[in-house]
Amino acid sequence: MSKSVFKDSAGVDREIDSLHLGQMSTWQVARRLALDYLRPQMRVILIGLASMLVVAATTGAVPFLIQQAADEVFAKHNEGLLYLLPAAIVAVVTIKGVAEYIAHVSESFVGNRVVADLRIQMFDRLAHSDLSWLQRHHSGRFISSFLTDSALIREAAGKVLVALGQNLLKVAALMIAMFWMDWRLAILAIILMPLGVFLLGRQRRKVHHSATKSLQETGDLGSLISQTLTGIRVVKAYHREAQETARAAATINRAVEFVMRSVRAKAAAGPTTEALTGIGFALAVFYAGFQGIHGNLTIGHFMGFATAAMLTYQPIKALATLQTTLQEGVAASVRIFGIIDQDRTVTERPGAGALVAKRGDIEFDRVNFSYNDGQEVLSDFSLKVPAGSTVALVGPSGAGKSTVLNLLLRFFDPESGRILIDGTEISGVTLKSLRMSTALLTQEPFLFDDTIGANIAYGADDATPADIEAAARLAAAHDFIMRLPKGYDTPVGEAGNSLSGGERQRIAFARAMLKNAPILLLDEPTSSLDSETEAQVQRALEKLLNGRTVVMIAHRLSTVKNADMICVMNRGRIVETGRHDELIAKGGLYSELHRTQLDGTGLFAGAEQEAAEKPAPSAKTAVGSAAQ
């Protein structure tokens, strides 16, 4: 038998994750849950508490019925009560059963409603959170909070309601009955309870700590599973199945250890309380027996008291384990509040108006930006994109091309400078109006696990089937869609994995066409396609570009030859501008990039070194070239 079954293993520990809200007391967590999530359900809670009060009252009535049966029927042979007592017992247990049903349903509804509200609030926070914050945390951590953390809160909320309602009321009713019958016996029966409360209170910190660490390990396991499934082809190609299994086993084993620490504390609560209560009851039995021998206590009196005392065992035991369950709920709540309370940096100004992009002019005015690591990505970056024109951004990896698109969509905000559309700063307009004025197409189009029609209509709630089909025809997608078993009702699978890359891209084009935004942002949407598929997608792309302002990131220089202006970026600045032939003739960075691609010496190979040896033109010069 492993020594860790009944004893905590030393040396098993871990740091608190960055989403943990910090130190919140049990009272602070309980108060927040009560005010924000329980108060809206007060009507159901009051119905449940009323039912629990009835359960407690009927439970407290049982010892008196037992006492009357022993003293009046068996001892005094009262035939009248012989007919009344059974009817009274049936009435009491029937009322008790109905009240218990109402109390249980009410408690379950409140617990599940609290969890549902927490999950909705968490999902809303994630959907509206800054992209930078989401990218710093693994999705497995969030999934763990949705599933495991919220389940613990539901259990804690339910047990707290029952413990503080039904069980506490039961104990109170039975204590009143015990003191009513004989206060001396009652004192002896409960004399050791304060000691039990003290001993159980010492377990609070240990349970909270263990529950927090167990939940973190569960989150790590979720992250590992997600990562392994996403990269399963790489795992198999490098024959790393055993190593990934070992990583999962280590995480699971640590989780087991932390869970067992809580289990041991919880398992000790019931026996501790029961033992102390048993000692008190033994003292009461001794005292009652002494009084009975001397004729100072009837058998019915003792039977009634003993019944009340024994009926208190179960609710007292439930109250004793409440501390551990409550601490697990507190630990889970702190993890969830860490998500809900996350502040956003990309926000709308008070009174922000809607952006009306009639023309589609875009301007970056002396923009500076760096990510969280502090490394500067854009430096004094300026660019003007006239309405209806196509501007291509090319350059070595890490030059800042994707950052330009991210800033234009306000996924991030610049540290300084301005970004304008039709002369209006985008920081002063609503996010909805900004993003409805743009359409983004990426290298790897994302499709939701839904039908083809739903994916095309995503973002266009009022789209009709005719609108969807028209967009698909423009994107050269209609023919292959109609060859599928269910046409537009065909499910695409997780991330669209039931379709080929070209089919996914054409559906993404159809989605952009249906959105009909005046500004189109392209992050090399054809670079991952084969030549035949690329030719089909290019024809669809030409229709999509017509009449729109386009900012395009290009890795294949062959795709930007027809752009109205090509901006060559390096180290966060525009170092060259012009059309394809002009830039080739200049013999600068663009010419070098073009040569390396034609020679097959590697995408952008050697370009960064040459660019590093050449002084970069100022942003002002680049803007002047762009204006020309």
Instruction: Specify if 90 maps to a domain.
Output: yes
Q: Which of 152-156, 322-326, 475-479 has the lowest mean pLDDT?
A: 322-326
Q: In whole angstroms, what is the distance from residue 284 CA to residue 55 CA? A: 26
Within this chain, do residues 295 and 366 fall inside the same structural domain, yes or no? no
pLDDT at 328: 78
HEC readout, 148-164 = HHHHHHHHHHHHHHHHH
Q: In whole angstroms, what is the distance from residue 593 CA to residue 396 CA? A: 8
- Categorize the per-residue pLDDT at 501 as very low, low, confident or very high, splitting at 50, 70 and 90: confident
Instruction: Specify if 81 maps to a domain.
Output: yes
Contact criterion met (CB below 8 Å) for 440 and 552: no
Q: Which letter does DSSP use for residue 343 in this model?
A: P
Q: In whole angstroms, what is the distance from residue 177 CA to residue 171 CA? A: 10
pLDDT at 365: 93
DSSP string, 1-62: --TTTTSPPTT---PPPTT------HHHHHHHHIIIIIGGGHHHHHHHHHHHHHHHHHHHHH
pLDDT at 407: 92
What percent of the chain clears pLDDT 70, i.e. is strictly above it? 73
Q: Cα torsion for 68, 74, 76, 78, to the nearest 10°?
A: 70
Report the sign of the C-alpha dihedral through residues 46, 48, 49, 54, in that order.
Answer: positive
Does residue 606 carry a pLDDT above 50?
no
Instruction: Specify if 211 maps to a domain.
Output: yes
Within this chain, do residues 264 and 223 fall inside the same structural domain, yes or no? yes
State the pairing for strand pair 549-553/573-578.
Answer: unpaired
Within this chain, do residues 423 and 293 fall inside the same structural domain, yes or no? no
Q: In whole angstroms, what is the distance from residue 5 CA to residue 235 CA? A: 34
Instruction: Specify if 321 maps to a domain.
Output: yes
405: CATH: 3.40.50.300
Residue finishing a domain among 340, 371, 390: 340
Q: Which of 198-207, 537-546, 582-591 has the lowest mean pLDDT?
A: 198-207
Instruction: Specify if 188 maps to a domain.
Output: yes
Number of neighbours of residue 464 by Cβ within 10 angstroms? 10
The domain in which residue 229 lies consists of: 26-340
Contact criterion met (CB below 8 Å) for 262 and 207: yes
Within this chain, do residues 323 and 373 fall inside the same structural domain, yes or no? no
Instruction: Specify if 442 maps to a domain.
Output: no
Q: Which residues are registered as beta bridge partners of 73?
A: none
Q: Which residues are registered as beta bridge partners of 370?
A: 376
Within this chain, do residues 326 and 378 fall inside the same structural domain, yes or no? no
pLDDT at 408: 93
- Categorize the per-residue pLDDT at 628 as very low, low, confident or very high, splitting at 50, 70 and 90: very low
Structurally, the chain folds into a number of domains equal to 2
Q: Which residues contact 321 (CB under 8 A, 6 or more apart)?
A: 266, 269, 270
Instruction: Specify if 320 maps to a domain.
Output: yes
Does residue 482 carry a pLDDT above 60?
yes
Q: Which residue has the higher pLDDT, 128 or 311?
A: 128
Within this chain, do residues 429 and 284 fall inside the same structural domain, yes or no? no
Does residue 364 carry a pLDDT above 90?
yes
Residue type present at position 538: Q
- Average pLDDT along the chain: 77
The reported pTM is: 0.72
Helix, strand, coil shares of the chain, percent, nearest 5, are 65, 10, 25
Instruction: Specify if 184 maps to a domain.
Output: yes
Within this chain, do residues 281 and 209 fall inside the same structural domain, yes or no? yes
pLDDT at 542: 76
Sheet strand arrangement including 565-570: 438-441, 519-523, 549-553, 390-394, 565-570, 573-578
Within this chain, do residues 197 and 276 fall inside the same structural domain, yes or no? yes
Within this chain, do residues 170 and 62 fall inside the same structural domain, yes or no? yes
Within this chain, do residues 72 and 149 fall inside the same structural domain, yes or no? yes
Q: Which of 117-121, 335-339, 364-368, 417-421 has the lowest mean pLDDT?
A: 335-339
Q: In whole angstroms, what is the distance from residue 229 CA to residue 139 CA? A: 13
Within this chain, do residues 240 and 364 fall inside the same structural domain, yes or no? no
Within this chain, do residues 147 and 242 fall inside the same structural domain, yes or no? yes
Q: In whole angstroms, what is the distance from residue 202 CA to residue 197 CA? A: 9
Contact criterion met (CB below 8 Å) for 330 and 24: yes
309: CATH: 1.20.1560.10
